[in-house]
């Protein structure tokens, strides 16, 4: 499963990239707004940190304007992936941009039928928001499973990008049901490495080693 970082924090993205845990980055208008910086500058700098796709979202709501914005965003860097909302206008823009060879990420997906439409329109990625479904007492993981079955049934190449990841269990469950990609905040990705028994075991090993009085170097 690919790991995308859902952030515009350049330092955090760079730290995870150095470890080898960044296959791409997702952003949205809210994330960019929190950075307090120029949108295009931030996207360009993020694109320099990873060869993977970096999602940059349009803000227009009409198809023709979305297409125009998408073409403009694509000029920022070769690895820009244009992010579009799952509306009929967004799907129309997705079809046009995809035919032009632009990677697309159709976002705010909350049903398998929506995911089917995005695949039909040539989306590179579909982003089902599992955490937001959980918030209203629906099963976000069931949605991932349904999309996986539909895509496999018909050989769609659209990648399932699990979004709105809130915790480490979401990551594990998405991997188990076959999501192609997951995107999560840096803190969630880093917490995947944490386990109380790992910490306890390492402390015991280091104590025993110290008692030998030896060094490796």
Predicted local distance difference test score (pLDDT) of residue 73 = 98
Q: What is the pLDDT of residues 50-99, one digit of tens each?
A: 999 999 999 999 999 999 999 999 999 999 999 999 999 999 999 999 99
Q: What is the pLDDT of residues 4-57, one digit of tens each?
A: 999 999 999 999 999 999 999 999 989 999 888 999 999 999 999 999 999 999
Which residue intervals of 121-195 are DSSP H helices?
130-135, 140-154, 168-177, 186-191
Q: Which of these is catalytic: 83, 92, 120, 200?
A: 83
Give Cα 197 distance to the centre of its chain: 29
| Count of Cβ atoms closer than 10 Å to residue 168 Cβ | 16
Predicted local distance difference test score (pLDDT) of residue 106 = 98
Average pLDDT over residues 168-193: 97
Identify whether 75 is a catalytic site residue: no
Domain residue ranges in the chain: 2-212
Superfamily of domain 2-212: Aldolase class I (3.20.20.70)
């Amino acid at each position: 499963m690919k790991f995308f970082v859902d952030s515009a924090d350049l330092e955090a993205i760079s730290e995870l990239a150095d470890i080898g845990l960044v296959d791409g980055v997702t952003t949205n208008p809210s994330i960019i707004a929190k950075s307090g910086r120029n949108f295009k500058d931030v996207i360009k700098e993020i694109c320099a940190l990873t060869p993977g796709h970096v999602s940059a979202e349009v803000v227009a709501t009409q198809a023709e304007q979305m297409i125009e914005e998408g073409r403009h965003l694509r000029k920022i860097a070769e690895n820009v992936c244009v992010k579009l909302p799952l509306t009929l206008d967004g799907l129309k823009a997705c079809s046009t941009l995809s035919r032009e060879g632009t990677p697309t990420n159709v976002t705010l997906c909350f049903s398998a039928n929506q995911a089917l439409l995005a695949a039909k329109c040539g989306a590179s990625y579909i982003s089902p928001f599992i955490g937001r479904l959980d918030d209203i007492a629906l099963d976000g993981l069931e949605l991932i499973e349904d999309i996986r079955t539909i895509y496999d049934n018909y050989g769609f190449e659209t990648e399932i990008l699990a979004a709105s990841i809130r915790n480490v269990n979401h990551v594990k469950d998405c991997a188990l049901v076959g999501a192609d990609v997951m995107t999560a905040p840096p803190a969630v990705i880093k917490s995947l490495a944490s386990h109380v028994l790992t910490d306890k075991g390492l402390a015991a090993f280091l104590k025993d080693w110290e008692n030998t009085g030896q060094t490796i170097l």
